């Protein structure tokens, strides 16, 4: 979950244009939470107290949903796998429900029960390694989103089989960004940029009325270099790629988006996919889903989702757009070429 992807051009370029009323600089806070650097920039309205409320909420979401920490609700659900349902907060129930929605939509290419396989690889963490084929074979049957039982009435989650583990790493940051936007609304903030490790949400309206401009990370470049810009109203831009979290062994790269059929990193010519959508939980869930589905199935899925656009980048630096994406995206790095 640590990644800084779409870059915020707005910050340096248009701070004057979108400065907070009555003060010259945006009010900005950064904190390491949810496994990544989270930065909130209040451009119009808000106060230190608003920033504190947002970070308290992000810490709360992490404390409930992290799969890598003891004492979280997800850890409790995982510990009780095969034994008993566990009562969880409305937050966790909602995020698990959304994750299962993407599992259904992708016929299991996205699967929040990928946890045991994530643990085998430990990509980006201590002890990362290529597991034995036998270990993967033994673990794969535990990846089965249909064996997650949600009970809305009693607010419980139950994993049917011992050894199953939920991992919400592909979607929790999106929820956290949406919750940030909700708090900004309650606190009457008029314009803000939320960057949760590359999961970017632009909130409200810039004071000069111009569209937000969000950079899309160049997957081959250093962090912070972008290949193009998305011009948009309030909404969110989320990228999943093979370049942020990976390790290399014997000249081969092992990245962190896993193929639920093989238990190994997804093999394709894709380098990244960027999703533009109104809600961040959808954009985050979809960025991982679209990567796992691949370009053709992914773009076919996007067609069915109103308000959602996507840009795929392949290893030959070609770009593939959903129907609406080419209209809001401008290419700035001539090293990339639009395909078709």
Binding residues for ligand ADP, rule: CB under 6 A, are 1, 3, 110-112, 114, 118, 167, 169-170, 173, 240, 244-245, 256-258, 260, 284, 287-288, 292
- Are the C-beta atoms of 202 and 231 separated by less than 8 Å? no
> Which residue is associated with the tokens 């395909």?
339
**Residue in 284, 309, 311, 325 binding Mg ion, rule: CB under 5 A:** 284
Question: Mapping DSSP to helix (H, G, I), strand (E, B) and coil, where does residue 80 land?
Answer: coil
* Whole-Å CA distances, 252 to 6, 243, 249: 26, 13, 5
Radius of gyration in angstroms for the set of CA atoms belonging to the chain, rounded to a whole number: 20
The two three-digit tokens of residue 319, written as one number: 């770009």
We find the least distance from the C-beta atom of residue 289 to Mg ion, in angstroms, to be: 8
CA distance 311 to 295: 9
> Which residue is associated with the tokens 């000249």?
251
Q: Which is nearer to Mg ion, 279 or 288 (CB)?
A: 288
**Residue in 67, 170, 181, 257 binding Mg ion, rule: CB under 5 A:** 170
Q: Which does 167 bind (CB under 5 to 8 A by kind): Mg ion, ligand ADP, none?
A: ligand ADP
Q: Which is nearer to ligand ADP, 173 or 295 (CB)?
A: 173
Q: Which does 91 bind (CB under 5 to 8 A by kind): Mg ion, ligand ADP, none?
A: none
We find the least distance from the C-beta atom of residue 139 to ligand ADP, in angstroms, to be: 13
Q: Give the closest residue to 6 by CA, choosing from 224, 222, 194.
A: 224
We find the least distance from the C-beta atom of residue 238 to ligand ADP, in angstroms, to be: 7
Classify residue 11 as left (phi > 0), alpha (psi -120 to 50) or beta.
alpha
Question: Mapping DSSP to helix (H, G, I), strand (E, B) and coil, where does residue 131 land?
Answer: coil
Q: Which is nearer to Mg ion, 51 or 100 (CB)?
A: 100
288 touches Mg ion (CB under 5 A): yes
State which residue has the least CB distance to ligand ADP: 169
Residue ranges that bind Mg ion, judged by CB under 5 A: 170, 284, 287-288
């Amino acid at each position: 979950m640590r990644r800084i992807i779409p870059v915020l051009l707005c910050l340096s370029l248009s701070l004057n244009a979108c400065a907070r009323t009555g003060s010259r600089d945006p009010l900005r806070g950064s904190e390491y939470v949810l496994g990544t650097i989270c930065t909130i920039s209040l451009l119009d309205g808000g106060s230190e107290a608003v920033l504190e409320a947002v970070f308290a909420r992000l810490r709360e979401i992490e404390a409930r949903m992290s799969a890598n920490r003891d004492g979280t609700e997800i850890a409790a659900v995982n510990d009780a796998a095969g034994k008993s349902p566990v009562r969880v907060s409305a937050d966790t129930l909602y995020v698990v429900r959304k994750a299962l929605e993407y599992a259904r939509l992708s016929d299991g290419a996205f699967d929040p029960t990928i946890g045991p396989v994530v643990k085998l690889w430990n990509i980006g963490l201590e002890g990362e390694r290529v597991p034995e084929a036998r270990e993967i074979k033994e673990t794969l049957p535990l990846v089965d989103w249909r064996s997650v039982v949600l009970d809305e009435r009693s607010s419980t989650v139950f994993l049917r089989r011992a050894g199953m583990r939920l991992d919400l790493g592909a979607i929790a940051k999106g929820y956290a960004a949406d919750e940030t936007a909700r708090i900004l609304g309650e606190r009457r903030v008029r314009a803000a940029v939320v960057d949760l490790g590359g999961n970017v949400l632009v909130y409200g309206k810039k004071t000069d009325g111009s569209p937000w401009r969000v950079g899309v990370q160049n997957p081959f470049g250093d962090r912070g270099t972008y290949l193009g810009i998305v011009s948009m109203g309030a909404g969110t831009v989320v990228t999943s790629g093979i370049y942020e979290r990976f390790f290399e062994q014997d000249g081969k790269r092992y990245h962190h988006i896993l193929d639920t059929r093989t238990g190994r990193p997804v093999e394709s010519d894709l380098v990244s996919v960027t999703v533009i959508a109104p809600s961040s939980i959808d954009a985050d869930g979809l960025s991982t889903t679209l990567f796992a589905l691949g370009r053709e199935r992914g773009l076919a899925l996007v067609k069915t989702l109103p308000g959602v656009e996507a840009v795929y980048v392949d290893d030959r630096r070609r770009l593939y757009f959903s129907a609406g994406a080419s209209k809001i995206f401008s290419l700035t790095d001539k090293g990339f070429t639009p395909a078709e």
